[in-house]
Structures are given as C-alpha cells and as structure tokens.
Structure 1
Amino acid sequence: MSSASAFDLVKGFRRTFPAESAATPVSSCFPRAPNASPLKGRAPVEGMKDWLLKIGHHPVDIDNLNVIHVAGTKGKGSTCAYVDSFLREHAKRNGIERKIGLYTSPSLWPQNRIRIDSNPLPENVFARSLNEVIKGLSLDGDKSSGSSSPSPGFLQMMALISFHTFIQEGVDVVICEAHHGGQFDATNFVDRPAITAITKIGMDHVDNLGGSIKNIAWHKSGIFKPGVMALTVSQALEAEQEIRCRAEEKNVPILFIQDVKSALLEFVDSNTFESIPLESRENVALAAQIAHKFLQDKGSSLNELDVKAGVNNCRWPGRFDIVNSKGSTWYLDGAHNETSMEVVARWYKRVTEANSPRILIFAHFSHQRTRDWIKILETLGNSLNWQIQHVIFVQEIEYDTHFSTTKERLDEYAQLWQDNSPSCSIHKTTTVAEGIEKAREFGTQTNILVTGSLYLVEAALKIVSV
C-alpha cells in the first residue's frame, strides 16, 4: 500500500456530518452524564477496547506503555509537546534509552499526528500500521456484505493506529492528547495511565460537552483514574470545583498549579523564566510538573538543564509560530475557540509594532452545532480592538476540501467585521494559497496573523515556510 493511498484510505473513515440546519437526535444508548449535557450519537470510546483486542492488544499492553493522558480546551497539544521535549532532554542528559511516543491532533496529514522521538511517523510505517489494523478488524473484505458490527470512525481509527504502532515499535512512554471531552473520548480506554492532566478549560464543543464550564469540566476530568496522579492549572471557579469533586469521587490525588511562576521557579532561575514567552508559561509549567511527577515515580527527577533545553528545543508548528517570508512576518496560531482567540490576540498585539500594517487571514470549518464561529470571530475582533487594515476570509483547504465552509458563512464573517470596522478592506478567497497571495499584494513589512482553524494554519505554514 502506497503512502498516498494509505492517507486516502484512513480519511475514508470520517463520518458525514448533517447539514447545519438539521437536528441530530440524541442516541438513547448514549450514557447520560450528571452535570453535563449528553453527547449526540455513540460514545466515541465505545468499542475501542474490543477493537484493540481484535488487533491483539490487551488492556495490560496499553497500561505498559506508561501513558500520560492530557485533556483540556486550550494548550493540550503544546503541553504534550513540552512534556515530550522535557523527557527527551532528561533521557539525553542521563544517557537513558527512552523511546517516546506522542499522539496529538489535529493535522491535515494523518501521519503527523503520530510521532516517535519527536519525528512524524514515516509514511511507510503509517501505511503498514494502517494495513495491520484494517486486517485485524476484518475491514478489508467486502463492505457490501451487510455486517451490522460498527466500524471505527476517523478519530477512533487514528487512536487505534497510534497505539498499535507504539506497541509494535517498543515505545517506553506515550504522551496522548485527548481529542475533545474526556469521559467518552475515543482515547479514554487506558485503564491505568501513568499520570493524567488537564490544561485550561474554556467553552468549546458545547453541543457535545454542554453549555457551561461546569459541564465541560465534568467531561475533561473523565480521564481521571482511581489512584493515578492528576495535575491541572488554575481554572475558573466552577471548573475547579467540578474537577475537585470528580477527583474526590475517583480517589485521585490532584495538584493545581495556581502560581505559574512559582511552579517554574522550582526548575529554572528568574532569567530563564522571563525568557519563556508569556503565552507559553502556563503550558510549560504544567508540562514541567507532569514530567517531574512522572520521573519521580521512576526514581528520577527533572532539573533546570532539562527544562531549559526542553523549552529551547521544543518545536510545535502552528502554535505561536513566527515565520519571516518574502519581506513580511507571519504570525500563525491555531486558535479555534473563544479562550484561544483572546490569547492569540494578546500575543499578536504584544509582539508586533502598533504602527505597522496588520493583516488577518481567518478560516473556521467547525459545524455550528459544535462551535459558535461568529462569536469566536467577534471575540478575536474585540480582542484586537478591530485594529486590522486588511482581512481575508478563506473558504476551504485545497489539500483536503473536507475542510470547507459555505459562501454564506464567509458573507456573515465579512458583514460582522465591516459593521465593527468600516474602514477595513475585506476580501474572500476560495483557497489558502489564494489568501496568502492576496496578503502579499499589500506589500512587504506587513504583520500577517493567520488564525482560526489549525488546518488553515498548517496549510499556510506549508506555503510560507518554503
């Protein structure tokens, strides 16, 4: 199987979403969650253990991977990347052979979601693992045979491929980012993780997780396992109360990192602390504490050298990313909810000159039932004080038109921005490449913010980094 056909094949497991105006019935078989709205349809975690067994992996095989499981709304991927970096630097400093698996999402290119020792999974290994999972689940036969057994969806398949690969490749520790939610998330099949953690919680996936911070906190803390250490950062009061309640219910020892500076000064001096970008400090602090607690359980500890080298060497594309290209500076961050938009706007204003030309490229592809995309854009505009000279709205990702929106939605974006900033020039393009070309027409020495969808950011990075 070629890599191209493997990528196309795994993308074929995507579910088709109903039209935005259509109501999606709530499945009567879906677990009812106290303090949280029920999700729609089947619980994503349903079937995962059975599928793993079919491809030869028992729960003890998963537990032996030393899984660090991370949920949250903002900063999950970055936190996972920092944990990976800290553990790699610790192993290097101590001459330890430690193979680290990292599973994150999202990415336009499926193999990029699965990394070993920080490297995206080689295309031939991805194709081999996909083929083995498909054969193990007997999904390579006649699809018209009428079998009533459910098959995995895309995210379920990606989680199966990743853990199958980690076991086959002899990985020593796995850092796993939950997709969304936690309690019913497709990654929540690990009975005995090494440690669990929750990053900052905000309003996101409200149709599935519920319409309040308390609802969402209930779901996120569903990754807690009895007796397993959990860590989190300072949260809104309702979220903190719910997290503490669930930790008590599950007999989970929990550490709240309330003071980011104090948490980091356990490992680094004040000069190093000040050198860490403001927007990254909370994620770095959480990641350092996760890595430290993990290593303590193994009879070791994290130190200043590990943290300094880990911060310096951590590369997480599309998160507070700055790229100089053809005379302009590109600021790229996949901020796809209201909480993230406030942070990316604050970052952009802090690192750019106020009197230099500012350009925004924005796209969002989530179903309206999942995210209030108008509210997200409005949050961005308000956070930027609408001080943008040119705005470009993108309709689709040319690499994968599964990620697209309607012209009507782009019209709504444009109208919202025009109403709040009448002097701004507003443009709509079909593809990311067209949006980038339009931004370049406004000359050099410009500061171009690319945000909204992580898929938009990844596609833009592929173009401007050349």
Structure 2
Amino acid sequence: MSSTRAYRDAIDHLNSLQSNAAVLDAVRASGGRSSEFAIPEMLEYLERIGYKPNDLNALNVIHITGTKGKGSTSAFVNSILQHTKPSWKVGLYTSPHLVAVRERIRVNGIPISEEDFTRYFYEVWDKLVENDHRRLPQTSLMPGYFRFLTLLAFHAFLKMKVDVTILEVGVGGTYDSTNIVPKPVVTGITALGIDHVSVLGKTLKEIAWQKGGIFKEGTPAISVAQPSEGMEIIEQRAKELQASSFKVVKPSDILLKVPLGLAGKHQIQNAAIAVELARTFLQGCGAFENTNTDELPQTFAEGLKATKWPGRCQVVSDPVERNLTWYLDGAHTLESLDCCMEWFLTPGVGVTSKDEVSLPTKRILVFNCTSGRSGQTFLEVINDKIATWTSQNTQSLTFFDQVIFCTNVTYADGHFKGDLTTKAISDKELVQLTTQNQLATAWSSILPDYLPSNVHVLPSIEHAINHIKRINDSSVVVKILVAGSLHLVGGVVEVAGLSKVAL
C-alpha cells in the first residue's frame, strides 16, 4: 500500500459515499427506494471484492436486529463471549460510531487500528474500482456508506480469522446490508419500539415482518417479548423462513440480581436475550456443555458486569474541569428518552442522593435531534418525566438551570471531525439553525415561564462546550445531560476531551 494512502484519505473516500440531504429527501418523498434490489446489489458488491455468500459462514455469525436495544445487546453478547472464551477472537460490528468510524469494527472489544482500517479499506475499495462489471444495471459503481462499511467488516473479520462475529443490523432486517450471511449460528430480535411506527411511517406488523427477515432455515431464532401484533408476525416469520427453533426470552429472577455494566432498568431485557444468544451460540458450536437455563454461568455474570457501551446512560467525570460531570445518552426515540430521563432522575445520578455531599448543583441540558423527528414531543417527554418526579410542575422550571440546543457540527469554524462528517443535513438548515430554533421555541411553549436568557441556540458543539466552560464554577457541582443524538454525544466526547475516559 502506498504510504500516501493514509487513514485520513480513507475517511475522505468513505465520506464521499454518504448520501446528501437532497438525495435523502428525494428517497423519503418517493417512499424509499425499491427494496427488492437491496440484497441482490449487496451480493453483487460482495462478489466484486472476491467473496461468495457461503464464505461469510466462516464468520460464525450471531445476527441481531430490533428497533431499540440491539447495540446494547450486542455489547452484552460480546462481553459474555470474551469472558467465557478468552482465547477466542470475538468480532463485533455495530453502528453508528461515537468518535472514530473504526469503533464500528472491533475485535475483542477494541476498535481495529487506523493502520488495519486503512489497509482493509483500500483492499475493498481497489477491488470495487477494478472489478467494475455489473450484472444489475441499477447497481452503482460504489456502494453507499453503510454498505461499504459492512463489506469492509466482513473482509476485515475474514482476514483476521475471528472465531465469532456479532453482527448488528443497520436498519430493518430483511433488506439490510448485513442480511447476506446464508447460515448464521443464531439470530435474535430485541424490542420493537412503538414510536418507530410513527417515525418510519410503518405499522408494527410491517416493522416486525422486516425484523423477522433475518431468520434463516435451520438456524435458532430468539426474541424478547413483543407487543401481541408484532409477536404474531415474528412467530409467522420464524415458521415461514424455517428457523430450527423459536424462543421468547424473559428476564429471570437470577438475572435481576446481577449488577449490569450498562445502566438503566431497560437493560435487563437486553441482558436476558444476550444471555440466551450467547448460550445458544456456544451450544451450537459445541463449545458449551451447560444446558441448564435456570442457572447463570459465572463467566456470563462476569461478562454482564463488565459490559461497556459508550454513549448509553454513561457517566463521565470531566478529566480537567473540577466538579463537572457529563451524563451521555444518545437516546433518539421517545421510548429511549423516557428511559434516559428515568436514569438521569435516579438519586446518585442526575439527582443528589442522601449519601452525597450536598453542594449547590447546576444542571444543563445539551440536546439536538435529527431533522424530521418531532422535537416538541421529545422535549415534552423530558419535561413530563421531570414533572412526575417533582410532583409539582413549577419545580421543573428550575430542574435544568440552562438548556443548549446545538447542531451536530463538531467545530466552531463550521467543520466536522473527519470521522463525524455528515452530509445528511442541508447547508441551509445548518446556516439558519432551523431544527435548533424549533427546539428552543418548543421548550418555551412547554415551559412559558422559563427564562429566555437560559435557552441557548448555538451553531456547533464547540460553541456549546465553550459556553459551559465559561459558566462553570468549581464551587458548584455541574451536571450536564447530553441526549437526543449519538452524533451529538460523539461530538461532545471529541470536543470536551473525554475520549480517554469515555471510550
């Protein structure tokens, strides 16, 4: 590989594969590109880089989908397997990333190095450029951003000879780029979020049908308990696609006693399906003799306790600023925001507990959401949880001393960190701060007596961090909740210098 082909160059090439705001708007307006070509196109890309579908079976895949909790579940499975089989190479492919795109492709929990990423990137890129013959006329020369990263992950894991691959679906299931592995070892579906029905414009049955599309003939299928209409479709899909078995998992009493490494009550359900996925996988590989599902093996418990997943209900003490603590949660749905606020309102987290030294406390909310999502409804969820906790609506006026609505742009000069670049936001929206002004208006309509001078609309994450540093007072405990977007959380980790302690 030429020395001039650096990691930064690979990231620039990768970013060129992103769809811009205009393209995404056109896709939404048309109801989405026809899905019937999604898998054939992905298979064509796979062939162009030198692989056949059956080659992917060597990855020993645990395939996981769902509308919420699939990332956390993948992290739990990863940690369980690392603790149970410490000699194995455990591959983990997830999305999105917080700070560096390499986070999406991990081995034994560690993102692949910049050197490995760059080498594997260009091996895939060059093959796609060289092998430009396309059987399907609608297939573009280069795949889109997520498709390319999926191909890159397959290639990297095969080259590194991983013993197992935990493969998180990007979107949906049936037509997702990851759904080209002919024979995964086990498949699983985490919770189907009700609010995705309105956001995606699909019924719960349609969403369930999509998720169930990862089931494969002769492969065990597992799901958490779902709403009845969704559960019915998932069960039908398991039969239709001839899964070898179908099991619905519920948290056991034993699991309730394990101090999970990920915070929040909602993680118990994710841990439950993770345990079943890991157990089924190990048994399927003949690597695990314990068939007693009433017991939780010691290594499983250790794995659950040790699980880390940055940006999800995560507490990070600022390494420089005294008495300043960051509470990071990329919650971006109504249900995940509800869980986020329940966590933040827990004594000892965002609320002072009886055992803590009682210093004056300031709370700041840093928030953003994707264009197209209902910011008003999101902010109502936040304030409804606060109002319920205080039991008096007037007290919610003083819960957050200040609120900051900023874009996901990383730096004050208008540029993104390379790995955090996004073309999904129109230049016009960024310049006019459309979403952020809408959020500020919504906040004031929900809390009309809230001081306008304490509501800030800022053009970048760096602007937000600088504002917080200006008002920080070492004699006061400052608690900052960052929520609404994983891209926002990642930018805060980068700009606030939290990477070494947060990732």
TM-score (norm 2): 0.80
Are 1:215 and 2:206 an aligned pair? yes
Partners of 1:393 and 1:427 within 8 A in 2: yes
Could you report, residue by residue, the CA deviation over 1:261-288 in whole angstroms, capped at 9, with x for unpaired residues? 34xx2xx6x6435897433211111111
Q: Distance in 2 between matches of 1:334 and 1:379?
A: 15
Tell me the matched-pair count. Answer: 438
Q: Which amino acid aligns with 1:395?
A: T
1:395: Cα distance to partner? Answer: 1.4
Q: Distance in 2 between matches of 1:298 and 1:225?
A: 17
> Structure 1 residues 420 and 219 mapped into 2: Cα distance closer, same or farther (>3 Å)?
same
> Structure 1 residues 445 and 28 mapped into 2: Cα distance closer, same or farther (>3 Å)?
closer
> Structure 1 residues 212 and 429 mapped into 2: Cα distance closer, same or farther (>3 Å)?
same
Matched residue SS, 1:84: helix
Q: Distance in 2 between matches of 1:461 and 1:87?
A: 28
Q: Distance in 2 between matches of 1:101 and 1:58?
A: 20
Mapping of residues 65-464 of structure 1, within 5 Å:
65-92=59-86, 97-107=87-97, 108-138=99-129, 149-203=140-194, 209-252=200-243, 253-258=245-250, 260-262=251-253, 265=254, 271-272=257-258, 277=263, 278-299=265-286, 300-301=288-289, 303-325=296-318, 326=321, 327-350=323-346, 351-353=349-351, 356-364=361-369, 366-368=370-372, 371-385=373-387, 387-398=399-410, 399=417, 400-402=420-422, 404=425, 406=430, 407-421=433-447, 422-424=449-451, 425-440=454-469, 441-443=471-473, 444-462=476-494, 463-464=496-497
User: RMSD of aligned C-alpha atoms?
Assistant: 2.7
Q: Distance in 2 between matches of 1:460 and 1:348?
A: 18
Q: Which amino acid aligns with 1:118?
A: G
Partners of 1:341 and 1:376 within 8 A in 2: yes
1:207: Cα distance to partner? Answer: 8.2
Could you report, residue by residue, the CA deviation over 1:285-315 in whole angstroms, capped at 9, with x for unpaired residues? 1111110111111231575321232123222
> Structure 1 residues 204 and 389 mapped into 2: Cα distance closer, same or farther (>3 Å)?
same
> Structure 1 residues 2 and 225 mapped into 2: Cα distance closer, same or farther (>3 Å)?
same
Q: Which amino acid aligns with 2:478?
A: T
Could you report, residue by residue, the CA deviation over 1:154-191 in whole angstroms, capped at 9, with x for unpaired residues? 00000000001111111111001111111111111111
1:243: Cα distance to partner? Answer: 1.2
> Structure 1 residues 147 and 190 mapped into 2: Cα distance closer, same or farther (>3 Å)?
closer
1:391: Cα distance to partner? Answer: 0.9
Q: Distance in 1 between matches of 2:262 and 2:58?
A: 34
> Structure 1 residues 428 and 208 mapped into 2: Cα distance closer, same or farther (>3 Å)?
closer
Could you report, residue by residue, the CA deviation over 1:219-264 in whole angstroms, capped at 9, with x for unpaired residues? 1111111221111212222221221222222222221123x134xx
Query: Once structures 1 and 2 are overlaid, which stretch shifts more, 66-75 or 389-398?
Result: 389-398
Matched residue SS, 2:72: helix
1:437: Cα distance to partner? Answer: 2.7
Q: Distance in 1 between matches of 2:163 and 2:123?
A: 21
Q: Which amino acid aligns with 2:377?
A: K
> Structure 1 residues 274 and 445 mapped into 2: Cα distance closer, same or farther (>3 Å)?
same
Partners of 2:375 and 2:442 within 8 A in 1: no
Q: Distance in 1 between matches of 2:224 and 2:197?
A: 21
> Structure 1 residues 131 and 204 mapped into 2: Cα distance closer, same or farther (>3 Å)?
farther
> Structure 1 residues 261 and 389 mapped into 2: Cα distance closer, same or farther (>3 Å)?
farther
Matched residue SS, 2:179: coil
Matched residue SS, 1:357: strand
Give 1:15's match in structure 2, choosing from 19, 35, 41: 19
> Structure 1 residues 238 and 389 mapped into 2: Cα distance closer, same or farther (>3 Å)?
farther
Q: Which amino acid aligns with 1:423?
A: Y
TM-score (norm 1): 0.86
Partners of 1:129 and 1:164 within 8 A in 2: yes
Q: Distance in 2 between matches of 1:89 and 1:250?
A: 33
Matched residue SS, 1:185: coil
Matched residue SS, 2:59: coil
> Structure 1 residues 209 and 216 mapped into 2: Cα distance closer, same or farther (>3 Å)?
farther
Partners of 1:323 and 1:464 within 8 A in 2: no
Matched residue SS, 2:184: coil
Q: Distance in 2 between matches of 1:239 and 1:205?
A: 13
Identity %: 32
Partners of 2:49 and 2:128 within 8 A in 1: yes
Matched residue SS, 2:88: coil
Query: Once structures 1 and 2 are overlaid, which stretch shifts more, 320-329 or 208-217?
Result: 208-217
Q: Which amino acid aligns with 2:490?
A: E
Query: Once structures 1 and 2 are overlaid, which stretch shifts more, 270-279 or 323-332?
Result: 270-279
1:345: Cα distance to partner? Answer: 1.0
1:433: Cα distance to partner? Answer: 2.2
1:442: Cα distance to partner? Answer: 4.9
Structure 1 segments unaligned to the other structure (5+ residues)? 32-41
1:149: Cα distance to partner? Answer: 4.4
Matched residue SS, 2:30: coil
Partners of 1:182 and 1:221 within 8 A in 2: yes
> Structure 1 residues 131 and 187 mapped into 2: Cα distance closer, same or farther (>3 Å)?
same
Q: Which amino acid aligns with 2:116?
A: V
Q: Distance in 2 between matches of 1:5 and 1:196?
A: 36
Could you report, residue by residue, the CA deviation over 1:67-91 in whole angstroms, capped at 9, with x for unpaired residues? 1111111111111111011001001
Partners of 1:75 and 1:199 within 8 A in 2: yes
Q: Distance in 2 between matches of 1:461 and 1:324?
A: 11
Matched residue SS, 1:281: helix
> Structure 1 residues 223 and 367 mapped into 2: Cα distance closer, same or farther (>3 Å)?
farther
Partners of 1:322 and 1:332 within 8 A in 2: yes
Matched residue SS, 1:319: coil
Q: Which amino acid aligns with 1:4?
A: R
Q: Distance in 1 between matches of 2:32 and 2:450?
A: 48
